[in-house]
Each structure stands twice: as structure tokens, then as C-alpha cells.
Structure 1
Amino acid sequence: MLTAGEVRALSALHGEQTLSELATNLDRSLSYTSELLQRLERAGLVETRRKGKTKQLRLSDAKALEVLTDLTQQYSHIDWPELLSGATLRVCYYLDIPRTVTDLACHADVHRSTVHRALAPLQHRGIVYQTDDGAYVLNDGFEQLSVLARELAHHTHRNTVEEQTHTYTILWESLDEFLVQTTTEIAQEQFLPTGPDQFQRYGLPLLARERRYYFYSESTNELSPETLCCHMLVIDSGTRAQSYCLLLLSQVDIDRDKLRAQAATYGVDDAVEELCTYLDTSGDQRTSRLPEWEDFQELADEYEVTV
């Protein structure tokens, strides 16, 4: 997320300063400070403007910087740049609730030893503690650390999508991935098309809409049907969307364990369980958002899907 140097620069930048003033405050060379500021400007965290012949620097209006400023001012005795460097912010992203080392390592995609190294200095300063069952918890007053990590990730996601379009809505996001709705076609390879249009890959063509949906990921090359189902439920949890998810689950050999794991990731656990129960009981157990079994059979016959 941020290096120690970047956190230190952001913490030292109050009001408007010149590059020379900031370099003096940081006790760093002009070349080092200039390179640092270029990275922060590209990330949308620092803005520059000309004032005569001088370039003035100031923090952007990113919400994450408000949180960082509050933390550094409220706890000015803490050396935040050293504490927040490396993987610490990645781990703190998932400390919105108590989590074990294994859970944090899995979610943040780091090794268990990295979690221990990241959180040990925080534990030493009373910022986090461990419960009797081994879960890490942020102490009262330091919950903003998780908010900071989440706001930084959200800011990065916004910058990423705004390189492609300025008309968009982020529907879901994690530390490194997000699901976005837009009216613009995005061809960049890390934006994978998802949503209703992708059901045609499984012989289930849906009516085209003006809205387009993309899943941004640097580690995924192709969406599984399990992931597509979960994306659809995030996009639209109405009866029509759930009916087409039922068709997909009936049409494709779905790995239910994988489906449930994906559902937990996207926060659609209950909806997925309702779909599975509906299919397993031939509609005898259904919620109000699911179709009558006879109506679903008619839809399945229309798409030549066996249920």
C-alpha cells in the first residue's frame, strides 16, 4: 500500500509547501523527495499547483488522508510511518473484526509469519491485542487503522477505474480486487467482463443492457461459473437475477464447496444457500424472491436446461 517514506511525507505535508520545504522537514534530499512526491501524485494522494515560478504541494481530498491526519494528530507520540510500512496496512485491512493469524494470512494473501511480524510492533504498543482464542483485535481508539487501510484500497481502486472511465460505481471490493458497473466498454486486460452478458458463455443469453460489469483482478485470468453466479447476486438480488443463477447452477457442473467459498468472499452466503436448497428440494423450500417451481421449469425449458 504505502511505504514508510510515503507515510512520513503525507504526515509532514500540512497546508501548502514547496518541494524544498518538504525535503527540509523530512531531512531528505530534493531528488529523493521529488521521486516520493511523484509517486504520491500519481496515486492521487498529493496535488501540485503553480504559484508564480514555484510549485506548491498539498494533500488531495482523499478520505484516507483525513483518517491518517486524525491518527497522527491524536497519537502524535507514535511513529506511524515505521509502524505502517510493509504489509501492516494489508493486514489491518482485515482487522475490521477479530481474526486469527491464519484468517488474516489467507485474506491478506501473506504468510503467517508476515502477519506476526506486522502486528508484533502494534501489539507491543497496545494498538492490538490477542483474545484467548488467538484472534487479533484492534484496541479501543485504534479502529481507524482498519478504516485507513480500507480507504487507501478504495482510493487505489477508484484511481484504477478512472484511468478507463469516469462514469462508474464500485459494487464490491476487497484489498486487491473490485467489481465495477459502468456504461463504458473497458478493454484493459485486468478488467474481466462479468455479469449478465457473460451468461451466454454457458448457453444462457440474457438481454443486453446499457450497463456493463467488470471484475478487476491482477491474479485472475478467467471467471469460473461459481464466481459469475456470485457476481450476479452482488449486481442484482432480484427474482430475475436469481432465476438465471438457478439456470446456471443447473446447466453447469458446479463445485458447491467452491461456490460457498466464493459466496463468503462476496457476502452472498445466504442467497447461495437459498438457491442450493431450492434446487435440492425442487422448489419446496423457497423464499419470496425465488420463482414458483412451475415458473422456473418453464424458464428452464425455454433455455433447454434440465432441472
Structure 2
Amino acid sequence: MKTVQEKYAFSKSEIKILRELVRGERPLSDLRKKLLFGPSLLSYNLKKLLDKGLIMENTRGFRKYVQFSDFKHASLLKNLLLVYYHIDWENLLVGKGLYILFQIISGFENSFYGVSKATFWRYLRRFRTHGILQKKVNKYEINPRFSILADFLNEYQLFFIKRIAEKLSSEAVVLWHRDFEFLVRVPKSVKVTSEKLHLTATSLFPSLGLPIFSEYNILFYSERKKNIKIEDAVLHTLLIERKNVRYVIYSLLLLHKYKEKIDVRYLKSEAQKYNLGVQIVSMLSFIETHSRQGDLPLPTWTEFEAKAKEYGVTV
């Protein structure tokens, strides 16, 4: 089965077709002549673009036509190819290029997950040559001049994520997403068979001795993570609604209950990936000092003691 990465990746042929469509609808016969594609090759690439939600086809009389779809990510890509027509996107968005851009906007470029360092630096040079990437402090980011590209990447990712979620249930709600990993809330009646979906956050609490129940399950989708640790459940609970004290308290209860088993180094490292580093440090300090610091969403110690007693956690 193809990974999400393989499904969203572009080939040079796909980019060439999209370039021909930026100025409007085209008959398939015109595309074959202009691109010198045989019927089977054109059909194969059009099917891939249809699956990506980028194009739509229609028939008038005996002729078939193709054009960009009305999806937001398709409109953004169309504008990108139109505004920056002079850039050789055929050599930038193909292969691992698009994947590396996703790593960069997610802040994971230093992990090189799924790509060799040599490949990463090769594409990095290409992007920097065109001014697409710039270095800020110790990381790379998309040049604000190419904000259309950043917007496209975000919407393109969300398109695939929503598609996966909708296959689970029409009631599925995506709570958080980043780099093709996401949290989704689904009814408990949904049967999960994919190895890429893991029960997490408050849905794991009953099995960990915390009687918190809901009519929904929280699932974490990932092609990287094989199992959910207690530390992951803590972080995923915070991601449900970052500034909601209720979820902070739930996370604190789990942290406190298993404080002797928590791998603090792993917890802090993972927290950085989710932009929860400061929050986690404050929560660990709260457990040790029984006092709040700064203006982060934390309960008073008295409030926490009351909740701990309610859920059978000794503090």
C-alpha cells in the first residue's frame, strides 16, 4: 500500500500537464499534441492528478476537456505556476523535493526522516538558488515572497488528511495536524483496522487507571510512530485544545500518576516538535513546586488536588 508521501508526490509529467492548464481549460487532444504524450501516458498522469484533487474533467460532444479543480489547494498551485512560471518546478516539486518542503514547514528538516542527507542538501541548494528558502537562526523557512507556496503546501496536506479522516467517519473531526500526522476525533462505534491509527490522549486514560470517559475516541495518525507511550498521550491531550485548562489538568494527572516512569528527556524532545516545550517545562515545574509560573494555562494547586482526588490520583 502506498504511503501518503507517495500519494502526494509529483512526477515531471504531472507538473508539465499542470503548466499547460494554468491559462484555462484544454482539450485532451491538445495536451497530447503539445506534450507529445501517448494516450496511455496522458491517461495515467491525469488519473493521478484527479486523485490529488487538482484537476477535473468534463465532456462536450465527442471531446474531453481538463482544467484545474475548484479545491483551494488546486487554486493555490495554479497561482503559483502562473506567477512563477519562469521557475523550473519540474525539478523542484518532484521526487523528494515536495516532501522536503513539508519537512521544512513542519520544522523537522534536521531529522531527515525518510530522506538521505545528500538528497536533502541537493534539493536545499536548488531551493536556495531560486530564493525559495532562506535561513533564519538555525533553521530554514520558506521565503515570504513565496507565501503562495507555503499556503499551497498547507492546504494540500489538509486535503489528504481530511480524505483519510472522512473515510473513517462522516463525523470525524481533525483536531490537529502537522507533516501528515494528525489527531482526529471519531465516534466510539468506528472500527479502526489501520496500523497507522493509534488510540491516544484521553481515550487511553481508562487503560492507564484514570477513569475519564467519552462517547468519542481520539486517534493519532502516523506512518512513523508504531505505538503510543504515556508521554505521547500527555502531549496529544494538550494538542486537543492547547489553551484549555481542562486538558492541561488531564495531562497533569497522567504526568503525576506516572511521574516515576516518565522519560523526561523523550517528553521534552517530543514536546518541542509540537511547540509545547515551554508548556511541558512549566507543567513539570508545577508538579514539583506546586505553584504556577508565568501566564500559561495551569490550574491552582488547590484545583489540581481536588481533581486528583476525584480521579483517584495521590498527590
**C-alpha offsets along residues 65-87 of structure 1, whole Å, 9 cap, x if unaligned?**
22222222122222212222111
- Select 1:90's aligned residue among 99, 120, 129: 99
Residue 242 in structure 1 maps to residue 248 in structure 2: yes
Separation in structure 1 between the aligned mates of residue 199 and residue 226 of structure 2, nearest angstrom: 11
User: Does structure 1 retain, via aligned residues, the 8 Å contact 2:57–2:65?
Assistant: yes
Counterpart of 1:220?
A: 225
Separation in structure 1 between the aligned mates of residue 171 and residue 203 of structure 2, nearest angstrom: 19
Separation in structure 1 between the aligned mates of residue 305 and residue 184 of structure 2, nearest angstrom: 32
Q: What amino acid is the match of 2:156?
A: L
Counterpart of 1:171?
A: 175
> What does 1:227-266 correspond to in 2, within 5 Å?
227-236=232-241, 237-252=243-258, 253-266=261-274
**C-alpha offsets along residues 170-214 of structure 1, whole Å, 9 cap, x if unaligned?**
2221222111234472524122222322211211121323x4322
Separation in structure 1 between the aligned mates of residue 62 and residue 171 of structure 2, nearest angstrom: 35
User: Does structure 2 retain, via aligned residues, the 8 Å contact 1:90–1:108?
Assistant: no
Structure 1 residues 123 and 291: CA distance shift in structure 2, 3 A: closer
Residue 16 in structure 1 maps to residue 12 in structure 2: no
Counterpart of 2:6?
A: none
Post-superposition offset of 1:52? 4.0
Residue 299 in structure 1 maps to residue 304 in structure 2: no
**C-alpha offsets along residues 83-123 of structure 1, whole Å, 9 cap, x if unaligned?**
221112222234459x7xxx614165422212211122233
Moved more, 30-39 or 115-124: 115-124
Q: What runs of 5+ residues in structure 2 fail to find an aligned partner?
A: 1-8
User: Does structure 2 retain, via aligned residues, the 8 Å contact 1:171–1:178?
Assistant: yes
Post-superposition offset of 1:306? 2.9
Separation in structure 2 between the aligned mates of residue 134 and residue 271 of structure 1, nearest angstrom: 22
Q: What amino acid is the match of 2:13?
A: G
User: Does structure 2 retain, via aligned residues, the 8 Å contact 1:193–1:214?
Assistant: yes
Separation in structure 1 between the aligned mates of residue 255 and residue 93 of structure 2, nearest angstrom: 43
Separation in structure 2 between the aligned mates of residue 141 and residue 42 of structure 1, nearest angstrom: 29
Counterpart of 1:192?
A: 198
User: Does structure 2 retain, via aligned residues, the 8 Å contact 1:71–1:144?
Assistant: yes
User: Does structure 2 retain, via aligned residues, the 8 Å contact 1:19–1:57?
Assistant: yes
- Identical-pair percentage: 28
Separation in structure 2 between the aligned mates of residue 302 and residue 167 of structure 1, nearest angstrom: 31
- Select 2:69's aligned residue among 34, 53, 60: 60
Structure 1 residues 6 and 165: CA distance shift in structure 2, 3 A: farther
Counterpart of 1:106?
A: 111
Post-superposition offset of 1:138? 4.1
Moved more, 66-75 or 25-34: 66-75
SS in 1 for 2:145: coil
Counterpart of 2:211?
A: 205
Separation in structure 2 between the aligned mates of residue 155 and residue 107 of structure 1, nearest angstrom: 24
TM-score, normalised to structure 1, is 0.85
> What does 1:22-33 correspond to in 2, within 5 Å?
22-33=31-42
Counterpart of 1:76?
A: 85
Separation in structure 1 between the aligned mates of residue 133 and residue 291 of structure 2, nearest angstrom: 47
Taking only aligned residues, the RMSD between alpha carbons, in angstroms, comes to 2.8
Q: What amino acid is the match of 1:31?
A: S
> What does 1:265-304 correspond to in 2, within 5 Å?
265-283=273-291, 285=293, 289-304=297-312
Structure 1 residues 48 and 164: CA distance shift in structure 2, 3 A: farther
User: Does structure 2 retain, via aligned residues, the 8 Å contact 1:83–1:121?
Assistant: yes
Q: What amino acid is the match of 1:292?
A: T
TM-score, normalised to structure 2, is 0.83
